[in-house]
């Protein structure tokens, strides 16, 4: 009982016990950090070749545990000489073998110690490195120097600090302490180191710990939450092949201020629930939570040796209010004898079946359909046109609970079809189209036919025309041979059933004769017929005149022969 009370008291906060043992860096790559580390290495002639090789070895050991690349740690090396030289940029290496090989291939520049020029170059490199990033990532500059004639570095260092760059320094000499003290970022005790070159390895872990503290990613996020579950995500702490575990604890706090348990029971002690996950885990799904409840989750390292690298992460979230299906019912695809009913949300794990009841209002017969719990729509058929129905969708849950929701649905009325359609030929490729429809609810008429002028005679071009409801005839010209002419009435909701006829064009004489004996011919059509007839008569007269002229020429020629 005493052990349980001690464990429960951790609800108010998680306190890590201090350790007197030295920190042990895991032998696999640290995956706790994200940021840019630019190494500013003194490569001038004042540094001996032995010191330079020891500094490179120190940097190799310093960076060895980190995961590299975008989204992790990026490292670059800038050498200080008469002119600064960028040995490799921040994006150059995304693996440890690549980085370690680049450090081994680095050669000393010699020359003067132009630190000021190197700092100007470093300022530009770090500014470009963060351009375009959604989040402002931490940036660290580690300056390794022998302390001899550092130059006018106060100004450039101050500009870097104003731009958010953290400055750390390691000096293998014992001069210019005040200059180095002014330029590094506080706290000085963990960001400034004076050490003999032969003993430089003793500060490796302390310097690495200071860098980790600056670029550590501490973020436990809720990426998905529902009424009974939550998905939590964090950066994986280690890669794999390690015994490192994580304790995951969460407790519920009811909206009213009281504490509860995820299984629904009251808890006066604020009970924790624990999950143990592997070190390379990056997410966990919590299930069996209560709706509309505040939860607090904490991610804590199980290994005491990792506490200095991995702080306890916490997040508080509220589960959503419980939503039971059906929460919404919709009606679509309505026709004269059918409607489609849909509902949601779909809860296949909890709903055993759905029952759909529908009947015509006010007192029609009730019909019932039963569907499996994985369905969320059905088509109701065999309905009466232009009728209002009451549709009820009921969900039967595995717990025995039921929930129902009702909506009203209306079927469409039967749309009147076109009553009559007549085609009267006018010339070789034209017809007069007449029809008769019903006026109630009519919005107009839609005509379709095939044109004669087309580049592909085997595939006539289709034309269409919309006419107002008062129109009962029209003249179509340039029709294709045996063109299909269709007329459909248009109502508010849809088109009614139309009629189609095949246009049979006739010779000009027959067409004119038929038109002249048609009592109901419109004035416009009569004018058109008269014009066609007059043009044909004039063409006949011209042809007769040409024939007479040819005959006269022939007779004149014969007379000349007789006279000779």
Q: What is the DSSP string of 451-483?
A: BS--S-TTSPPEEEEEE-TT--EEEE-SBPTT-
**CA–CA dist 228, 349 (Å, integer):** 12
- C-alpha 76/C-alpha 435 separation (Å) is 85
For helices 154-162 and 115-129, angle between their N-to-C axes, nearest 10 degrees: 10
Please classify residue 37 by burial: count the beta carbons closer than 10 Å to its beta carbon, then call 0-12 exposed, 13-18 middle and 19+ buried.
Answer: buried
Query: What is the per-residue DSSP string for 348-360?
Result: TTTEEEEEEEEEE
State how far the Cα of 172 lies from the Cα of 55, in Å rounded to an integer. 9
The per-residue pLDDT for 252 is: 56
Cα four-point dihedral sign 118, 124, 128, 129: positive
The CB-side HSE value for 555 (13 A sphere, CA atoms) comes to 6
Alpha-carbon separation of residue 391 from 330, 346, 363, 372, 406 (angstroms)? 10, 18, 13, 18, 5
Distances (CA, A) of 551 to 216, 325, 521, 548, 561: 114, 99, 43, 5, 16
| Residue 135 CB partners (closer than 8 Å, separation 6+) | none
Q: What is the per-residue pLDDT for 535?
A: 65
Q: Between the CA of residue 172 and those of 19, 85, 153, 199, what are the distances in Å? A: 30, 21, 18, 9
Strand 73-80 relative to strand 35-42: parallel, antiparallel, unpaired? parallel
Task: List Cα–Cα distances, 31 to 240, 245, 309, in angstroms.
Answer: 11, 14, 10
Q: What is the pLDDT of residue 547?
A: 73
Longest CA pairwise span in the chain (Å): 155
pLDDT attached to residue 553: 66
**Which domains does the chain carry?**
35-215 (3.40.50.410), 220-255+271-319 (2.60.40.10), 328-410 (2.60.40.10), 420-503 (2.60.40.10)
DSSP one-letter code for 201: G
| Per-residue DSSP letter, 175 | -
pLDDT of residue 416: 86
Which pLDDT does position 84 carry in this prediction?
A: 93
Gap between the Cα atoms of 271 and 316, Å rounded: 16
Query: Which single residue is written with the structure tokens 């973020």?
Result: 219
- CA angle (215 as vertex; 118, 151 as ends), nearest 5: 20
Question: Cβ atoms within 10 A of the Cβ of 438, count?
Answer: 14
How far is 235 from 388, CA to CA, in rounded Å?
A: 57
Count of all residues that appear for the chain in the document = 564
pLDDT, position 223: 82
Q: Give pLDDT, residue 71.
A: 83
Q: What is the pLDDT of residue 244?
A: 42
Token pair of 541 as six digits: 């007269």
End-to-end CA distance of the chain: 155
Report the distance separating Cα 429 and Cα 434, nearest Å: 17
Take residue 364 and report the two structure tokens written for it: 């029609």
Question: Which residues, 6 or more positions from 460, have their beta carbon under 8 angstroms from its beta carbon?
Answer: 450, 451, 452, 454, 480, 483
How far is Cα 37 from Cα 138, in angstroms, rounded to an integer? 9
Query: Residue 119, Cα to own-chain centre: how many angstroms?
Result: 41
Q: Of all helices (H) and strands (E), which one includes residue 490?
A: strand 484-491
Q: What digits encode the pLDDT tens for the residues 174-185?
A: 778 888 999 999
CB–CB of 313/235 below 8 Å?
A: no
Contact 34, 218 (CB under 8 A): no
| Single pTM value for the model | 0.47
Q: What pLDDT is stored for residue 2 in this prediction?
A: 37
Whole-angstrom Cα distance, residue 449 to residue 79?
82
Quick one: pLDDT at residue 366?
94
Show the low-confidence residues of the chain (pLDDT under 50): 1-28, 238-245, 256-270, 305, 307-308, 507-509, 511-512, 516, 558-559, 562
Nearest of 406, 309, 394, 323 to residue 361 by alpha carbon: 406
Helices (H), 204-353: 204-215
């Amino acid at each position: 009982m005493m052990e349980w009370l001690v464990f429960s008291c951790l609800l108010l906060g998680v306190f890590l016990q201090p350790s007197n043992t030295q920190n042990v860096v895991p032998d696999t790559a640290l995956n706790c950090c994200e940021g840019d580390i630019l190494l500013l290495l003194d490569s001038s002639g004042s540094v001996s070749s032995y010191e330079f090789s020891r500094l490179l070895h120190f940097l190799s050991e310093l960076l060895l545990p980190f995961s590299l690349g975008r989204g992790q740690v990026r490292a670059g090396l800038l050498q200080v000489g008469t002119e600064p030289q960028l040995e490799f940029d921040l994006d150059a290496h995304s693996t440890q073998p690549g980085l370690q090989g680049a450090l081994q291939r680095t050669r000393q520049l010699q020359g003067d110690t132009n630190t000021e020029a190197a700092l100007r170059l470093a300022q530009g490199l770090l500014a470009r490195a963060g351009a375009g990033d959604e989040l402002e990532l931490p940036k660290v500059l580690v300056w390794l120097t022998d302390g001899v004639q550092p130059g006018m570095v106060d100004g450039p260092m101050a500009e870097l600090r104003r731009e958010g760059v953290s400055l750390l320094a390691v000096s293998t000499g014992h001069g210019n302490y005040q200059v180095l003290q002014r330029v590094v970022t506080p706290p000085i005790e963990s960001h400034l180191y004076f050490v003999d070159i032969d003993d430089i390895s003793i500060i490796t872990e302390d310097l690495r710990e200071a860098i980790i503290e600056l670029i550590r990613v501490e973020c436990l996020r809720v990426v998905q939450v529902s009424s009974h579950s939550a998905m939590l995500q964090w950066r994986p702490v280690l890669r794999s092949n390690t015994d490192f575990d994580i304790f995951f604890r969460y407790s519920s706090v009811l909206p009213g201020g009281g504490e509860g348990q995820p299984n629904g029971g009251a808890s006066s002690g604020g009970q924790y629930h624990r999950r143990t996950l592997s070190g390379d885990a990056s997410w966990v799904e919590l299930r069996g939570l209560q709706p509309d409840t505040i939860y607090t989750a904490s991610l804590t390292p199980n290994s005491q040796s990792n506490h200095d690298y991995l702080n306890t992460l916490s997040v508080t979230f509220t589960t959503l209010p419980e939503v039971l299906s059906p929460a919404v019912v919709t009606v679509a695809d309505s026709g004269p004898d059918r409607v489609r009913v849909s509902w949601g949300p779909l809860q296949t794990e909890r709903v055993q079946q759905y029952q759909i009841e529908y009947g015509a209002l006010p007192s029609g017969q009730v019909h019932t359909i039963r569907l499996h719990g994985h369905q969320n729509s059905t088509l109701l058929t065999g309905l009466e046109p232009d009728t209002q129905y009451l549709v009820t969708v009921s969900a039967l849950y595995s717990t025995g609970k039921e929930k129902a929701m009702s909506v009203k649905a209306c079927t469409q009325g039967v749309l009147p079809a076109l009553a009559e359609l007549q085609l009267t030929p006018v010339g070789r490729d034209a017809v007069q189209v007449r029809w008769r429809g019903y006026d109630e609810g009519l919005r107009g008429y839609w005509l379709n036919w095939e044109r004669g002028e087309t580049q592909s005679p085997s595939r006539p071009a289709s034309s269409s025309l919309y006419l107002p409801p008062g129109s009962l005839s029209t003249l179509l010209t340039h029709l294709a041979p045996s063109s299909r002419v269709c007329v459909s009435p248009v109502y508010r909701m849809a088109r009614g059933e139309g009629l189609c006829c095949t246009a049979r064009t006739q010779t000009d004489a027959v067409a004119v004769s038929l038109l002249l004996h048609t009592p109901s011919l419109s004035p416009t059509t009569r004018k058109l017929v008269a014009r066609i007839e007059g043009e044909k008569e004039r063409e006949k007269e011209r042809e007769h005149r040409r024939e007479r002229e040819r005959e006269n020429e022939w007779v004149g020629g014969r007379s000349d022969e007789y006279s000779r």
